[in-house]
Structure 1
Amino acid sequence: MRTVLLLALMLLTACNQGPTLERLGGPTMGSSYSIQYVREPAGPPPAQVQAAVEAILQEIDLHYSTYRSDSTVSQFNQLAANQCLALPRDMLDLVRFGQHLAVQSAGAFDLTVEPLLDLWGFGPQARHEQVPDPQALAQVRLRVGYQHLRIEGQALCKDAPVELDFNSIAAGHAVDLIAERLRAMGITSFIAEATGELKAVGRKPDGSAWRIALELPREDRQIARQVIPVDGLSVSTSGDYRHYFEENGRRYSHTFDARLGRPVAHDLAAVTVLDASALQADGYSTLLLILGPERGWDFAISHDLAAVLVTRAEGGFVSRTTPAFERAMKGE
């Protein structure tokens, strides 16, 4: 009888347990990922969620990492001109998206910047960060250009020895895949983040909104310039204030204008984009950062992007928010 009462008490206690907030994370893509999710009493335990998330991230690494010689993108990059490689469907979809951004930006955004990243010291084959010799730069620019890519069936082909770099969109793609997997596991409220790209859906256990801090673009420490509530949207911030070098008093960031073959040289320090798709937010935040404060602003307005552009000014920074961003903050 005592055993029966104890079992009944345990069942009653389990039934009375409400939703809890679970947190997990780990290394990925040379950085880290983190997941917060609301676990219902019958919901999946953290170990199961973590295994599912890390399986996705391992797959992303296998396909998109330029730091692995056995990755799919490295296999493509090692091909000579006028060759093709069969690619997974989602990888072809990312190529199509990258090509779309290249056309929209008149070639400023370009997935084939890998040789430039190496030459300037930012890529996996780089020796050290430096301003390259003009002749070396001219030679490398012959191996850059989205127009050298074409898709034939399930294969990607190139008519020049171009090399791909998906770092501007792969993390956003990973976040979309993670969000899809979490929903499939019955998780309806979560924040999924990978290398700074994130998506927030639903609400916390107490019913309050997920709140995301947008950083002020400073190298020395993290300072929140704005905290926003997010539900059902992805948040991507691209900036030139973390990965850069200086030479002869001039700053060179890892954000490249592929048309010029060099890092951007303008006062736009950071861009944040909100979108239902983390892939879209990731890609467009990079595109706007490449275009700069004026052309980026005009592009964001003409394409109705929910964006914040932070520009360096004397004594600090100036932020501009698009009408679409203001509407998103109002839940419209």
Structure 2
Amino acid sequence: MSDLMNWRVCVVVLFGLLAGCGKGDPLETFGGPTMGSTYSIKYVRHAGLPAPDDVRTEVEKILADVDREMSTYRSDSDIEVFNALPANRCQSMPASVLELVRVGEQLSIESEGSYDLTVEPLMNLWGFGPQGREEKVPDPKALAEVRQRVGHAHLHIDGDQLCKDAAVEVDFNSIAAGYAVDTIAARLEAMGIHDYLAEATGELKAAGKKPDGSPWRIALEEPRDDRQVAERILAVDGYGVSTSGDYRNYFEQGGQRFSHTFDARTGEPVSHNLASVTVIHPSTLMADGLSTLLLILGPERGWDYAEKHDIGAFFVIRADTGFVTRTSHAFQRLSGEKTE
């Protein structure tokens, strides 16, 4: 499989005690490289299920399809061929790509334009994108020019075609891994596998139980640059989980920190004190996109959005003494915490 994308390195969901012990059917585990990172599948092999090699073949076919359709790191992918088109052009697209465009439009509208799939030119300009050459604060004139090519309103769908009225470039990095995990989970279910944990680049979905009958558990990482520290342990059954953060992919200039997370309205990296957000959602695709959206909005606007839309969200906020955490009411309910 090709090296798809350097997806969001800020995704920091860790695995807890997954394998379990004691009696039960065997736990099958496999994984490998994908999307510039890795994927991992764990499932309980009950009697009558397909052979492990057949399961792996199905999973890697899904990942290869996502690579071919959505990668911004290969020039022949469907989305990169579209990105190379000039303004006022259309291209036929797979249904999966059109689905993600529609999800991106929804999230863009609900965030009043802060979240946007067309930020790739901005990421390149600041040095974070696939064509980025140097991480630095760009010239104001260059920034103003690039901002003319950013905005979901420049995209529209016509039948099976994706069209643009400006030379926009679409970047699915904030939702494609979640989509891949959901697609893998659906395929596992169709194969009769109902006890599993599917993960790609840190986005994950778990269902059922481990071989010993205990729940799948994951650990949320405290946002530190030097080492990984478990902040919170969660039992997950039937939900997708995604974490976005700004503390691993950034640069500093003039004493100021610039992260790779952009507010499309300003064309600049976010500058608030929200370090990371974890979202729990029945759809890993939506958890993926919403964790990015909430990170962009920041600790106050993001909190208000999560409460308004009943989103399970765990916020880690920088403070003078280190980090403080805040959980939405939906997260408290889903994780079994006591509500305020």
Aligned equivalent of 2:200: 194
2:277 to 271, 278, 290: 271
> Aligned pair 1:185/2:191, yes or no?
yes
- C-alpha change, 1:18 and 1:301, in structure 2 (3 Å) is closer
Shift in Å, 1:316: 1.1
> Aligned pair 1:90/2:96, yes or no?
yes
> Aligned pair 1:58/2:58, yes or no?
no
Report if the CA contact (8 A) 2:24-2:212 is conserved: no
Aligned equivalent of 2:252: 246
2:170 aligned counterpart, secondary structure: coil
Alignment of 1:202-281 (within 5 A): 202-281=208-287
> Aligned pair 1:140/2:125, yes or no?
no
> Aligned pair 1:174/2:183, yes or no?
no
**Which consecutive residues of structure 2, in runs of 5 or more, have no partner in the other structure?**
1-22
Shift in Å, 1:18: 4.8
2:81 to 70, 75, 78: 75
Deviations 1:156-191 (A, max 9, x none): 111100000000000000000000011111111000
**Which of 1 and 2 has higher RCO (CA within 8 Å, sep 6+)?**
2
**Which consecutive residues of structure 1, in runs of 5 or more, have no partner in the other structure?**
1-16
Shift in Å, 1:44: 2.5
Shift in Å, 1:315: 1.8
Aligned equivalent of 1:326: 332
Shift in Å, 1:331: 9.9
Aligned equivalent of 2:7: none
1:154 to 151, 156, 160: 160
Structure 1 residue ranges (4+ consecutive) displaced by more than 3 angstroms after TM superposition? none
**C-alpha distance in 2 between matches for 1:122 and 1:199:** 28
Tell me which amino acid in the other structure corresponds to 2:97: M
214-223 or 173-182: which moved more?
Answer: 214-223
**C-alpha distance in 1 between matches for 2:30 and 2:255:** 42
**C-alpha distance in 1 between matches for 2:182 and 2:40:** 14
Aligned equivalent of 2:55: 49
Deviations 1:281-314 (A, max 9, x none): 0011100000000000000001110111110001
Aligned equivalent of 1:13: none
Aligned equivalent of 2:294: 288
Alignment of 1:4-43 (within 5 A): 18-43=24-49
Larger Rg: 1
Aligned equivalent of 1:4: none
Tell me which amino acid in the other structure corresponds to 1:245: F
The two structures have a TM-score, normalised by structure 1, of: 0.93
**C-alpha distance in 1 between matches for 2:256 and 2:226:** 18
Corresponding pairs, count: 316
2:73 aligned counterpart, secondary structure: coil
Shift in Å, 1:245: 1.2
**C-alpha distance in 2 between matches for 1:249 and 1:40:** 56
Q: Give the RMSD, CA atoms, in angstroms.
A: 1.3
Shift in Å, 1:151: 0.9
**C-alpha distance in 2 between matches for 1:248 and 1:185:** 55
Deviations 1:127-161 (A, max 9, x none): 12111111111111111111111111111111100
Counting aligned pairs with the same residue, the percent is 62
**C-alpha distance in 2 between matches for 1:242 and 1:316:** 16
Tell me which amino acid in the other structure corresponds to 1:246: E
Report if the CA contact (8 A) 1:18-1:41 is conserved: no
1:26 aligned counterpart, secondary structure: strand
Report if the CA contact (8 A) 1:211-1:230 is conserved: yes
Shift in Å, 1:46: 2.5
> Aligned pair 1:298/2:332, yes or no?
no
